[in-house]
Amino acid sequence: MKNTTFTSCLAGLSSCALLVSFGLFGIATSTLSNDAVSAFNGKIEGTYGEVNDTYSRGIAGSLSIPVAESWGIQFDSLYQHAAEDDYYGLGAHFFTRKSETGLLGVVAGGIHSGTIGNFAVAIEGEYYLSWLTIGGFAGYDNVQSNGTMVTYSPKVTNRDDFAIVNLYLAAYPTENLMLRFDYMNRIDKNFYDFQVEYQTPVPGLSAFGIVGFGDNDFFQILGGVRYYIGKDKTLKARHRQDDPTNILNNMQGTNQAGGQDPGNGSSSTGERIRG
């Protein structure tokens, strides 16, 4: 019953997001236009690390496509193995952007595993200063669990619907170095991430690291490499001219936390989990 409800919710919300996007972008085009996506491009990444004393490893990718002169579409994907479970995710963005000014769009994404089904739809935006990006998204988060999230957020036992908010600042001390701070509120919990990404001298290749913490003793430390597919350009230019942030990366760490007893790396039954 829960799976049927989740599937129906995902389809319905996707349709709503599409309808909202047409109205939103009709207004936005007069301000943001002509270079939403500079050219066909993509990225693929691999990560490895630890979330709440359990190992986490996986891959993610994005594909961005320019649409007409003013629009861009991006498709996101993710696979992660963590806490003895496999997580699969798909997402999409529909947006307009001016590389000197900012981005405005609609984003939706869903992640499913043996313990949790999660779908979010939100409005996303970015504002660009010379060395700083101010961005985020806010919207609706549907969370359905088979009971393993009870120790993490008891409200999930009798509630599926939550707000999701993610705000971030990304600073560029150099054209190929990003320092980013994220704040996220979801499932009525607060999370904080610090991320560093450096584009190496190897064309298209960057290395990144993430340290995060939050309510209920949530903690994660992850590292990985990311390969950008497309024209050679600086890291800051890639972030402002090509692909928006993969929404599934924003959601996954806290999804994994939901299936564990935070601070103990154990499931809701008390059994120790190891990746």
Q: Which two tokens stand for residue 188?
A: 């009525």
Alpha-carbon distance of 72 to 39, in angstroms, equals: 10
pLDDT in tens, 51-105: 888 888 999 999 999 887 778 999 999 999 987 889 999 999 999 998 889 999 9
pLDDT in tens, 97-115: 988 899 999 999 999 888 7
Going from N- to C-terminal start, the domains of the chain cover 2-258
**Whole-number pLDDT of residue 115:** 78
Around 130, how many Cα atoms within 13 Å sit in the side-chain half-sphere?
A: 0
**Whole-number pLDDT of residue 265:** 44
Q: Are 223 and 46 in contact (CB under 8 A)?
A: no
pLDDT at 193 over 90: yes
Q: Which two tokens stand for residue 252?
A: 């996954």
- Give pTM, 2 decimals: 0.79
Report in angstroms the alpha-carbon separations of 31 from 97, 103, 122, 174. Answer: 9, 10, 20, 28
**Which CATH number is correct for 2-258, 2.40.50.140, 3.40.710.10, 3.40.50.720, 2.40.160.40?**
2.40.160.40
Alpha-carbon distance of 67 to 36, in angstroms, equals: 8
